[in-house]
Amino acid sequence: MNQLEQLKQYTTVVADTGDFQSIKAYAPQDATTNPSLILKAVQKPEYLPLLQKAVAESNGGSTDEIVDRLLIAFGVEILKFVPGRVSTEIDAALSFDTEATVAKGRELIALYEAAGVSRERVLIKIASTWEGIRAAEILEKDGIHCNLTLLFSLCQAVACAEAGVKLISPFVGRIYDWYKKSTGTDYQGAEDPGVQSVKRIYQYYRTFGYTTEVMGASFRNTSQILELAGCDLLTISPDLLQKLADSDAPVERKLMQDGDVAIEKIAVDEKSFRFMLNEDAMGTEKLSEGIRAFVADSAKLKKMIEAMR
């Protein structure tokens, strides 16, 4: 078996792309999208018709409504190629507005259900701010499952688990980027700070019996992926999926169900969450940077739509 096939023995593999052909090629269980991936996809000729159709069927609706329809159109198509779930992201501009995030999550699920897609096959992606986590807590009680993204710190992971969130996406590569830039060290293997962060979260959840799924995300190389073999899920870009498929080197399970380190339970309320995140310079910077980047790409997508109306 190649490395991708071996990895699938230990971990649920998810495709991190809006490209249907890539999803079809690698046969993942689930797929994840975000504003940057959707923007990248609609700039390809083969996906432009989805954008044109969303605009044509808008009936004079707002640009935001067209964006929502486009997201659902991509999600519906992706679900034709995966047996599991698709993650659809809420506009990052709502990251600090709990009520608006809840409303948007309900709107997106309603659009999916109107398109014949069960809510069980959709994860609503929300930034792991305090407000986003509170919104996810409300949505989960509605039976709307959430994927908490832009997650860099243990306090974010703990708050998500205590809120009953279905799944979290701790970002490996962006953590690696920050530490490499700040220290000048090119971390390898188990020494990678991004890998260590996901391992710590995974073991914390196992130690205290949380059922929230852990999906490592944002990888820079296959070494980071292989160090997390055994994680609940890993969402991987097409280029790295191909590199795994091209190698037949052995893959060893690295994350086990039973933790082998002593972990102290931490209490997270709003004050302690904000303080712990503030104390984590990397987490604070990468969360803010991620929100800004997604907002910027959403703005570019909206400009494309406005130019077509």
- Least Cα distance to 134 among 123, 121, 148, 122 occurs for 148
If DSSP codes are grouped into helix, strand and coil, which group holds residue 291?
helix
- Least Cα distance to 95 among 147, 142, 133 occurs for 133
**Which whole-number Å values give the CA distances from 307 to 55, 237, 252, in the listed order?**
10, 30, 50
By the 8 A CB rule, do 98 and 131 touch?
Answer: yes
**Which whole-number Å values give the CA distances from 224 to 157, 171, 175, 196, 280, in the listed order?**
19, 11, 12, 10, 22
Contacts of 90 (CB under 8 A, 6+ apart): 101, 104, 105, 108, 124, 125, 126
**Cβ atoms < 10 Å from Cβ of 10:** 17
Amino acid at the residue 225:
I
10 Å CB burial of residue 308 (0-12, 13-18, 19+) is middle
Please indicate whether residue 199 is annotated as part of the active site.
Answer: no
Catalytic residue among 104, 125, 166, 286: 125
Q: Which tokens go with 160?
A: 């998500």
If DSSP codes are grouped into helix, strand and coil, which group holds residue 87?
strand
Q: Which residues pair with 13 in a beta bridge?
A: 234
- Least Cα distance to 117 among 148, 89, 86 occurs for 86
Amino acid at the residue 143:
G
By the 8 A CB rule, do 276 and 153 touch?
Answer: yes
Question: Residue 221 gets which letter from DSSP?
Answer: S
Q: Which are the catalytic amino acids?
A: 125
